[in-house]
Amino acid sequence: MTLFRYGKHAPKNDYRTLRFQNYLKSAGGAPALAAPPAQFSGLDQVYQKLGINDPTVLFPMDGNDVYGDCTIAALAHAATVFNGRIGKKLIMSKASVVKTYMSLTHGIDSGLNELDVLNYWQSSPKIPGGEILAFAKIDPKNHEHVQQAICMLGGVYLGFQVQQNCQEEFQARQPWTPGPLTNDGHAVFAVAYDQAGLTVLTWGNTQQATWAWWDECVDEAYAVLPMEAKNPAYAPGLDLAQLQVDLQAVAN
């Protein structure tokens, strides 16, 4: 029995999309950043700053049990994380999430493409408290870059091809593992990782997933930079100056 909805379209490519790997600074002249820690949780940072540790409160369903608005629900969850990391409580209302979704689909419950959502997110001032500076594509097969992005920015916006038993595992609070793929796509926000796998936000709660699931199912991933990233101290491993130069070049 299907209790929840999906709604992510197949990945869309655009040569102008920034690449996360191009903005990872060398550390002290070394060829690459130090390896990310073995485990990290941006979610724990949010819990500590806000004094709230209930994901069902901070990351609600946002209509994703009725509408295929997962791409916008994941946006809303990311905005809550970005604000929570600096001690601000921001939870988009269900009405705002659904309104944003329907405005982009022209009133049709058709699902959306992640790249279109990200471009809207970057260019639109209509998400109070959720404005972003930029986004950059991550190679999903590069686990180290995925982990670097979660450490630096608190999470990764991603999309995956849905495996069979996806909802059953969610309801049973079992980790997502590889399985035969369906014709569905889903968008979530990853907020933590360890050597066994990751934690993502979806359907009003957290969900564990193995790295084997990630490699089998995830077909796109993005580092999203909140406005606070304008401060070089926010994510010191990023070459912010070069990113802003490239942003201007894309805009022109």
Residue whose token pair is 């491993």: 237
Query: In a 10 Å sphere around its CB, with 0-12 CB exposed, 13-18 middle and 19+ buried, how is residue 133 labelled?
Result: middle
Range of the domain at 201: 40-251
User: Which pair of tokens denotes residue 109?
Assistant: 């419950």
Strand partners, 134: 225
Three-class secondary structure of residue 7 per DSSP: coil
pLDDT at res. 1: 54
Whether 121 is covered by a domain: the verdict is yes
Whether 145 is covered by a domain: the verdict is yes
Whether 137 is covered by a domain: the verdict is yes
CA atoms within 13 A on the CB side of 23: 29
Whether 29 is covered by a domain: the verdict is no
Domain count, the chain: 1
Whether 57 is covered by a domain: the verdict is yes
User: CATH number of the domain that 226 lies in?
Assistant: 3.90.70.10
Give me Rg for the CA atoms of the chain. 17
**Alpha-carbon separation of residue 133 from 8, 172, 226 (angstroms):** 23, 37, 5
Whether 95 is covered by a domain: the verdict is yes
Tens-of-pLDDT digits for all 252 residues of the chain? 568 999 999 999 999 999 999 999 864 444 567 889 999 999 999 999 999 999 999 999 999 999 999 999 999 999 999 999 999 999 999 999 999 999 999 999 999 999 999 999 998 776 767 789 999 999 999 999 999 999 999 999 999 999 999 999 999 999 999 999 999 999 999 999 999 999 999 999 999 999 999 999 999 999 999 999 999 889 888 999 899 999 989 877
pLDDT at res. 27: 45
**Is the overall model pTM greater than 0.75, yes or no?**
yes
Three-class secondary structure of residue 8 per DSSP: strand
pLDDT at res. 101: 97
